[in-house]
Structure 1
Amino acid sequence: MSDIDRFSIVTLVLFFLSTIFVIQPLSFHVRLPFIGRTRLTIGLMTAPIIAIAILWAAQCIGATQIRDGIVGTDNIKPYNILILFISLAYMAITLDVTGILQAAAFWHDCGERPHYSLGHGFLVYYTAATGLEPIAWLISEFAAANTASMVLFVGNPTNVVICEGFRINNAAFTAYTILPFLACSVACYAGLAFQFRGEKHVPRRLNAMGELKPREVLRDPVSACFGSILLAVCLTVVIVLSFFHIDVWKIVLPFAVAKFIFDLSWDHYRYVTDRIPRLDAKAASEGHPGDEDAMVSELKRAMSMPTSQAPTEMTDVERRPTFASVTATSSEIAAITIPKARSPSPESSKTISQAPEPRIFAEQREKLAIVHRRLAAHFPTFFTALPRLPFGLIPFAFSQFILIEGLARQGWIDVFATWFVKASHRQMIPAVWLVGFLGVILCNISGTNIGATILLTKIVRVAELPDSSARAAAISLAVASNIGAVSFTFSASLAGLLWQSILKQKGITFRQLDFAFWNTLPLILMTAVGLAIVTAEMVVLY
């Protein structure tokens, strides 16, 4: 501890404070010049950035740490991870915009049980259409996706960090993780089956009076076919080329660009051939058209819930959130839910008229709004997908990487490595369980599982373990970082934050407490079983 000084302590304190505000944001109102009273939130978007600003001003970190947090060190490239994340998100979101996932949810096989598969958006539509409670399905899908991601090198950004940080061959990585994956999957299923036993979670026929027609909700068949094929080809190429040590972003980004070009070109073609409605000059200048039917037709493209089966506000009954659903005809299935604005009370109208909110650059903002409405009508796919892209996660992720570089600069990595050596005595089996438990815990308190993986990778490398212990720690970290996403906080992984964001876009509010409650048992079982299998593997091999 001789190298630890006041700058080191401040860095560590701010690191954990920023994590606390990410998990539990703090909101308050302030009055700002020229803007007036406004609401500020210290949370996911702001807490890490504020921490970095304070540390930079206090000279706890410098420009080198900021650069390293973005570009990376020791073969770990954060930008590689985020380009991969955003590119895949764009292709998936624009595919959802076409309506293909909603159509799949309504697909019948000669009146038998409807086909179903995994996917955030798909399960929202499917559970709404069938009247099932979505909690079990969504939690199970999230757990299954993150558990299965440990098998392939490209399955999770944390796998990329581990393979590059410990110089593990991609094929060897899969060989090491296949058995832990199978064991964790069985344990996870057992835990979920125990939690979600009951009739209301069992698949059944769609709760509709008429015959459902998937084509009624498939808004753009051409784009749906092209997007599905492109995404499938992209994932196949990524898996194949990943064995040749090519940066993943160099593979995925061209596919995302190709999808972007197709979206613009196809929307332009549909616009000039009147396959999509045009926006006249009056509607563009006034915002939404005056009548409600015109407003519904404009917003239909951006929404994706059937009116009669759309999930309503989640209620908490005996800690089990439920959704309301009603019976619908086949024509109503294709309708879209448009929330109606509440009429303001006379008192609130009077208050608003007396104290109008000030607007800075009102004229310029109105001109930009007109341009935006015209472009959105011309290119609906891109402008519907754009606000749904998780751009807000980019500064958050980079900020976490920078904060970890700050910990390294202030000597904490060396201190943690010393503690790790004393606790494990550089032995293989203690290394497996220490890294495994620390990995699961740090996913929640060190800025996603990616931040936890980078932090533990640096610690294990500084600890200079024997080859067998280092390899055991790496595979244990692979298991922990993937199942660690199935954890107590949404911020345990970028996947969790994106999962929460997608559900909000579909009108579903999922509480942090419920997320932790349903994940606790599967996480405990997977941690115990997964690390036990890793231990057995290492004992046999070494």
Structure 2
Amino acid sequence: MATNTDTDKLDTERIKEWRSIVTLIVFVLTNINVLFPWHIPIPVPRPLHNGLHHGLSAIRVIHPKKKSLHGADKAVVWFRFPMNFVTAPLIADLFLLIIQAIGREEVRGGTLGTDHISPLDIMLFFITLAYIAISIDASGLIRWLAYKVLLWGGESGHKLFFYLYTFFAILGSFIGNDPIILSGTPFLAYMTRVSSNIEYPRAWIFTQFAVANIVSAILVSSNPTNLVLAGAFQVRFIDYTVNMIVPVVITVIVLFPVLLYVIFRKENLIPKKITLHELPEEIRATIPKNPCIPYARGAAEEEESLHVDDEKGKIIELAEIMHPYLDKKSAIFGSVVIATTLIVVLVINAVKPTGGELPVFYITLPAAAVMLGWDVSCGWLRRDGTREIARSGRRELEAAREARAAASSSPSEGVLADSRPSSGDNQNEKQVAGVNEKYHDVASESFPSSRSTTDITVEASEATSTRHVGPVSKYSSKVSEGGNKRKKEREVDAEKRSEPAPKDKATLVSMIAYAWAWLRETFPTATAVLALLPLALVPFAFTMFVLVQALVTKGWVPVFAYGWDHWVNLTGTVGAIGGMGFVSVILCNFAGTNIGTTILICRVLQAWVLIHEQPGVAPISNRTFWATIYSMALGVNYGAFSTAFSASLAGLLWRDILGSKHIHIRARDFARFNVPIIAVSMIVGCAVLIGEVYLMRDTLPYKST
């Protein structure tokens, strides 16, 4: 039965007010900003900049500024303020608050919740469950399982492609897409590069990204978009899974041959036979180290970047996939915790629908606390070993840098430098100085060992000043003269460095850095998982909820709801499925990721239900309503792999991980390769959903709870 409050929510006359128009413009501009992040250059007068710096250093928040002539003559200091998916919605909300377009009602509704959508509960549930899933990933389980799948696939490229496809689909169904992207993406990047006959990695990485997002539609817990949807319409978690599992599974089955034989059919993408480089026996004999420990890889991290395309680099990358680390106890414990948590959530939610007296984070929060306690306990019990690994890795890294610096000071370079103008000497000195600065940075940021920062810097200086005397040539006198001159300069420099330097006083920043370094080496898994948590999602989700709530109170959401109602009246249930699937995929790219899209569409559909609860208006049928809801679920999950990286936060994470592994995907390539995949996936999913709702749903009026 409609009330006066419900009637007020459907008032569309408010869109004529200037604040309503401004609200819509701000919403559109904010979403464009999320799609295309940029920086605002802000000029700060140098006296103000220096004054702030001196003030902060005076109260020992930061270290005093080192004297430098660089830029000292400029009147302003430029600060680049980021405008991205975190800052843009926040600034938009603040602007709307200033012009009084939103107030307490919108802020409360966008944080504590309204109309069965509780952003706070959703974020707590998702973050706590994400901790458990990422902790399992940190144990090395996913990469170890992927390694086993690689062995099962053998040399057959098509068989391996099928095994990995199935592996990512099954695993992603339970733990969601983020852990699959965190571990699966680097694994595939290494695998495709160490294979001698895979020319382009796109078939493997695009398939993994697509299937991870497709299967995240099965469980409510796999994606925050599913949580928003289930909360908005009081859908029990088990009912959601029962209705989504058939369209998703059939999509996965049908998509595989399309990918293998149509979209990525070329031999250089998925070869029939894959040839991997052999891993040396001496590397196989070593014990894998926990990658969560700082400097656990020693010099391998830098060597990998320096030898991207040569044999040494391929061996390093091959070791990452063929010699993985696995913490068996943590993997088993984490698997038991997440399985128990999901079962309890499903059972409790089946008894009491979402929005009842018991929020689901009441279950996941204790489970995450148990997992955190396990990670902390394991870290503390193993602290001596992890600290030793970190120290030895740091020493190995320093030694490798010193060796490279010494190699750069070879006799041949000295001859060439002296036979050229003096600018070459200056460049060499800059290079040595840069190396020393890097040593200083490493020592400052890492956990302190028995060697001081000064010792490391002095050793680096001495190492870089070492030269080997080569054969006598016609340039020998020149080399000797220039070399002696530089040697004296470096000896003086080394003496200056070896003098007891005044110890810097501790500051707030240095104490925090020291504490974090200590925590990383004492509790490597716990700190690594905390660093990987999608915490940026929290402010983004809250601010987007507030923005959408502003559209509700300003009359725009009812306008969209009336438009949707006209479409459904014209096209029926089939049109509702096709239209909602298309709209949700498109909006993922232009309405603040798939999370922003879900928030907006849920509010529109809630208003649509209110329209049909008005006196004299025909009710919505169960078939049409649930067809619309589940086609939206398909669209917001599948829409993550459509035309823009920012269609989902997972897409941004996937792009950054690939970039760190020297695989750079252009925006137009992302769209070009994903369009056929999303087209096939949505057509199959929606077609199956049409059959499902006609078999399982009746035409009786839908009654909201």
Q: Is the pair's TM-score, using the shorter chain for normalization, greater than 0.5?
A: yes
Amino acid in structure 2 at the alignment position of 1:268? W
Could you tell me which of 140, 148, 154 is aligned with 2:215? 148
The verdict on how the C-alpha distance between 1:210 and 1:525 changes in structure 2, with shifts beyond 3 A counting, is same
Deviations 1:104-138 (A, max 9, x none): 44447599458753232134225514535543222
2:96 corresponding residue in structure 1: 55
Question: What 5-or-longer segments of structure 2 have no aligned partner?
Answer: 1-11, 54-76, 169-179, 289-323, 402-426, 438-504, 613-619, 700-705
The verdict on how the C-alpha distance between 1:525 and 1:450 changes in structure 2, with shifts beyond 3 A counting, is same
The verdict on how the C-alpha distance between 1:236 and 1:510 changes in structure 2, with shifts beyond 3 A counting, is farther
The answer to whether the 8 Å contact 1:440/1:481 transfers is yes
The verdict on how the C-alpha distance between 1:240 and 1:215 changes in structure 2, with shifts beyond 3 A counting, is farther
Q: Determine if the alignment matches structure 1 residue 456 to structure 2 residue 540.
A: no
- Mapping for residues 240-259 of structure 1, pairs under 5 Å: 240-244=347-351, 245=353, 247-259=359-371
Structure 1, 210-219 or 528-537: larger mean CA deviation: 210-219
Q: Determine if the alignment matches structure 1 residue 95 to structure 2 residue 136.
A: yes
1:366 corresponding residue in structure 2: 510
Deviations 1:356-406 (A, max 9, x none): xxxxx9833223222222222222222333332221222112111111111
Alpha-carbon distance, 1:263 to partner: 1.3
The verdict on how the C-alpha distance between 1:191 and 1:486 changes in structure 2, with shifts beyond 3 A counting, is farther
Deviations 1:193-228 (A, max 9, x none): 322223343473542243574953416444344334
1:484 corresponding residue in structure 2: 639
2:534 corresponding residue in structure 1: 390
Q: Determine if the alignment matches structure 1 residue 42 to structure 2 residue 86.
A: no
Structure 1, 427-436 or 259-268: larger mean CA deviation: 427-436
Structure-1 separation of matches of 2:24 and 2:660: 35
Could you tell me which of 575, 580, 586 is aligned with 1:441? 586
The secondary structure found in structure 2 opposite 1:167 is: coil
Alpha-carbon distance, 1:533 to partner: 3.0
Structure-1 separation of matches of 2:212 and 2:249: 13
Structure-1 separation of matches of 2:188 and 2:339: 22
The answer to whether the 8 Å contact 2:185/2:658 transfers is no
2:377 corresponding residue in structure 1: 265
Alpha-carbon distance, 1:261 to partner: 1.1
The answer to whether the 8 Å contact 2:577/2:627 transfers is yes
Q: Determine if the alignment matches structure 1 residue 431 to structure 2 residue 576.
A: yes
Structure 1, 85-94 or 389-398: larger mean CA deviation: 85-94
Could you tell me which of 226, 230, 238 is aligned with 2:333? 226
The secondary structure found in structure 1 opposite 2:641 is: coil
Amino acid in structure 2 at the alignment position of 1:178? I
Could you tell me which of 267, 270, 273 is aligned with 1:201? 270
Structure-2 separation of matches of 1:523 and 1:237: 34
1:470 corresponding residue in structure 2: 625
The answer to whether the 8 Å contact 1:191/1:521 transfers is no
The answer to whether the 8 Å contact 1:187/1:522 transfers is no
Structure-1 separation of matches of 2:278 and 2:672: 33
Alpha-carbon distance, 1:44 to partner: 1.8
The answer to whether the 8 Å contact 2:13/2:555 transfers is no
The verdict on how the C-alpha distance between 1:293 and 1:110 changes in structure 2, with shifts beyond 3 A counting, is farther
The answer to whether the 8 Å contact 1:105/1:123 transfers is no
Structure-1 separation of matches of 2:666 and 2:20: 35
Structure-2 separation of matches of 1:61 and 1:362: 44
Alpha-carbon distance, 1:277 to partner: 1.7
The verdict on how the C-alpha distance between 1:157 and 1:386 changes in structure 2, with shifts beyond 3 A counting, is closer
Higher Rg of the two aligned structures: 2
The verdict on how the C-alpha distance between 1:72 and 1:192 changes in structure 2, with shifts beyond 3 A counting, is farther
The verdict on how the C-alpha distance between 1:165 and 1:370 changes in structure 2, with shifts beyond 3 A counting, is closer
1:315 corresponding residue in structure 2: none
The secondary structure found in structure 1 opposite 2:116 is: coil
The answer to whether the 8 Å contact 1:279/1:374 transfers is no
1:306 corresponding residue in structure 2: none
Structure-2 separation of matches of 1:184 and 1:488: 19
The answer to whether the 8 Å contact 2:590/2:647 transfers is yes
1:7 corresponding residue in structure 2: 19
Alpha-carbon distance, 1:441 to partner: 1.5
The answer to whether the 8 Å contact 2:89/2:540 transfers is yes
Structure-2 separation of matches of 1:158 and 1:400: 13
Alpha-carbon distance, 1:240 to partner: 4.1
The verdict on how the C-alpha distance between 1:347 and 1:38 changes in structure 2, with shifts beyond 3 A counting, is farther
The answer to whether the 8 Å contact 2:116/2:234 transfers is no
Alpha-carbon distance, 1:190 to partner: 4.7
Amino acid in structure 1 at the alignment position of 2:378? W
1:21 corresponding residue in structure 2: 33
Alpha-carbon distance, 1:186 to partner: 4.1
Could you tell me which of 493, 496, 507 is aligned with 2:651? 496
Structure-2 separation of matches of 1:191 and 1:390: 33
2:686 corresponding residue in structure 1: 531
Structure-1 separation of matches of 2:428 and 2:542: 42
Alpha-carbon distance, 1:249 to partner: 2.3
Amino acid in structure 2 at the alignment position of 1:428? T
Normalising by structure 1, what TM-score?
0.78
Structure-1 separation of matches of 2:432 and 2:22: 46
2:60 corresponding residue in structure 1: none
Amino acid in structure 2 at the alignment position of 1:486? F
The answer to whether the 8 Å contact 1:162/1:453 transfers is yes
Q: How many residues align?
A: 481
Structure-1 separation of matches of 2:95 and 2:348: 42
The answer to whether the 8 Å contact 1:154/1:238 transfers is no
The verdict on how the C-alpha distance between 1:368 and 1:174 changes in structure 2, with shifts beyond 3 A counting, is closer
Deviations 1:322-378 (A, max 9, x none): xxxxxxxxxxxxxxxxxxxxx99739979xx9xxxxxxx983322322222222222
- Mapping for residues 80-119 of structure 1, pairs under 5 Å: 80-107=121-148, 109=151, 112=154, 116=164, 117-118=167-168, 119=180
The answer to whether the 8 Å contact 2:593/2:648 transfers is yes
Q: Determine if the alignment matches structure 1 residue 408 to structure 2 residue 552.
A: yes
The secondary structure found in structure 2 opposite 1:204 is: coil
Structure-1 separation of matches of 2:682 and 2:244: 14
Alpha-carbon distance, 1:71 to partner: 1.8
The verdict on how the C-alpha distance between 1:291 and 1:191 changes in structure 2, with shifts beyond 3 A counting, is closer
Structure 1, 376-385 or 5-14: larger mean CA deviation: 376-385
Amino acid in structure 2 at the alignment position of 1:406? A
Alpha-carbon distance, 1:88 to partner: 3.3
Structure-2 separation of matches of 1:105 and 1:378: 28
Question: What 5-or-longer segments of structure 1 have no aligned partner?
Answer: 297-342, 354-360
Deviations 1:290-349 (A, max 9, x none): 7734799xxxxxxxxxxxxxxxxxxxxxxxxxxxxxxxxxxxxxxxxxxxxxx9973997
The verdict on how the C-alpha distance between 1:533 and 1:344 changes in structure 2, with shifts beyond 3 A counting, is farther
2:484 corresponding residue in structure 1: none
Structure 1, 451-460 or 168-177: larger mean CA deviation: 168-177
The verdict on how the C-alpha distance between 1:279 and 1:168 changes in structure 2, with shifts beyond 3 A counting, is closer
Deviations 1:21-50 (A, max 9, x none): 111111243333426433222112211111
The secondary structure found in structure 2 opposite 1:277 is: helix
Aligned residues: CA RMSD: 3.5
The secondary structure found in structure 2 opposite 1:29 is: strand
The secondary structure found in structure 2 opposite 1:536 is: helix
The verdict on how the C-alpha distance between 1:171 and 1:371 changes in structure 2, with shifts beyond 3 A counting, is closer
1:379 corresponding residue in structure 2: 523
1:277 corresponding residue in structure 2: 388
The answer to whether the 8 Å contact 1:105/1:126 transfers is no
Deviations 1:227-259 (A, max 9, x none): 344334434444444423364322222222111
Alpha-carbon distance, 1:529 to partner: 3.0
The answer to whether the 8 Å contact 2:238/2:346 transfers is no
Alpha-carbon distance, 1:503 to partner: 4.3
Structure-2 separation of matches of 1:384 and 1:150: 27
Structure-2 separation of matches of 1:499 and 1:241: 34
The verdict on how the C-alpha distance between 1:145 and 1:346 changes in structure 2, with shifts beyond 3 A counting, is closer
Amino acid in structure 2 at the alignment position of 1:157? P
Amino acid in structure 1 at the alignment position of 2:187? Y
The answer to whether the 8 Å contact 1:278/1:377 transfers is no
